[in-house]
Amino acid sequence: MPSRSLILSTALAALLAPLAAHAEDVNMVLNWVPTADHAPYFYAKEQGWYEDAGIDLTIEAGRGSGAAVQRVAAGMAEIGVADTATMLLGRGEGAEVVAVMVVYANSPQGFYWLKSSGINGPEDFPGHSIGNPPADASRIMWPLFAETVGIEPDSVKFVNVSPQAKLTSLKSGAIDITSDFYNEHDLKVREFGDDLGFVAWRDIGVNPYGNAVIVNTTVLDEHEETVAKFTAVTQKAFAACVENVDPCLDALLSSVSGLDRDNQNDQWNRIKELMSDETTRTVALGAFSPERMDADYAMVSTYFDLKQPFDVETVYTNEFLDESIKMTDE
């Protein structure tokens, strides 16, 4: 006769089996190597929130927004993080992806240089080199920036530089200018002081949406409940990190080596600026404004050759966001 403990163990296993069977493997590709703006994903994973939602999440470092869009569209990752304008360009080339949550309500894009190089502003960029990865969103969107500031798009030379090598390449003179997110602004100020030159895209009137959480459309169609749960957990995690970033940075630093905590804390303070706009404060944290998405589509359509025009309403949704969770106005 089987023992009582064996019977109980068998019964427990039978009870848990359906739950395990419903857990889904989800691979998420980031836009860059993990830093403070990715802390909420690591925090939610560490807390078991994704697991509780039936999601076995793997987080993969990225190599640029363009590469992230390609991987998600190809089904190599179910979910990703990518610059919104880059996503729109990808969709025009047939990339079947949909944005389910905006992270940067303001563009984080900016260019940095050293004043000692003789560059005083974008008008002095011609004849100089810009270093960034080939899939960098600012390289893809460069023609728009160039036209806005009144210089020829082909007046600069692009040099392939990894995300980790941007700062050292600028310091060594291997490149004259680099693009980078506003997140690490404080690090550059400390490194270069008064010699640092900087222009934010949003300050010259170019403020498309920045990073967003994107999902493969087939995954959305066939696993809508999983996407809904992932989005809900992620929105909750971002709200928690806005309220208190310390445990979020703990989770990030325990998973990613080589990061300086003070630098990541500075980054998060800048990220909160980028996350806040009227829509994220009044509708929901992570919500898209239809008017702004229309404007972003018009911008992409005007300055780039969209091989396949599309209805912009089909490439984003606020459906899975909790409207009771809003960005705080700090």
- Tokens 């419903």: give the residue: 22
**Cβ-based neighbour number of residue 217 at 10 Å:** 17
> Could you tell me what percent of the chain has a pLDDT over 70?
93
Residue type at position 45: K
Q: Which pLDDT score is estimated for 140?
A: 80
CB 276 within 8 A of CB 202: no
SS3 166: helix
**How far is Cα 299 from Cα 205, in angstroms, rounded to an integer?**
12
Mean pLDDT of 174-201: 94
Mean pLDDT of 234-263: 97
Q: Which pLDDT score is estimated for 134?
A: 85
Q: Which pLDDT score is estimated for 18?
A: 40
**Cβ-based neighbour number of residue 319 at 10 Å:** 10
**Cβ-based neighbour number of residue 76 at 10 Å:** 13
- pLDDT-derived band at 330 (thresholds 50, 70, 90) equals low
Q: For residue range 283-292, what is the model confidence (pLDDT) as tens digits? A: 999 999 999 9
Q: For residue range 251-266, what is the model confidence (pLDDT) as tens digits? A: 999 999 999 999 999 9
Q: For residue range 119-165, what is the model confidence (pLDDT) as tens digits? A: 999 999 999 999 998 877 788 889 989 999 999 999 999 999 988 89
Q: Looking at per-residue confidence, does 232 or 7 come out higher? A: 232
**Cβ-based neighbour number of residue 20 at 10 Å:** 10
CA neighbor of 103 nearest in space, from 61, 50, 65:
65
Q: For residue range 1-14, what is the model confidence (pLDDT) as tens digits? A: 444 333 334 433 44
Q: What is the domain partition of the chain in residue ranges?
A: 4-106+208-314, 109-204
Q: The domain 109-204 belongs to what CATH superfamily? A: Periplasmic binding protein-like II (3.40.190.10)
Tokens of 184: 């690490």
- CATH topology match: 4-106+208-314 vs 109-204: yes
Work out the mean pLDDT of the chain and round it to a whole number.
91
SS3 246: helix
Position 188 pLDDT exceeds 80: yes
Q: For residue range 87-97, what is the model confidence (pLDDT) as tens digits? A: 999 999 999 99
Q: Which pLDDT score is estimated for 22?
A: 67
Mean pLDDT of 45-69: 95
Q: The domain 4-106+208-314 belongs to what CATH superfamily? A: Periplasmic binding protein-like II (3.40.190.10)
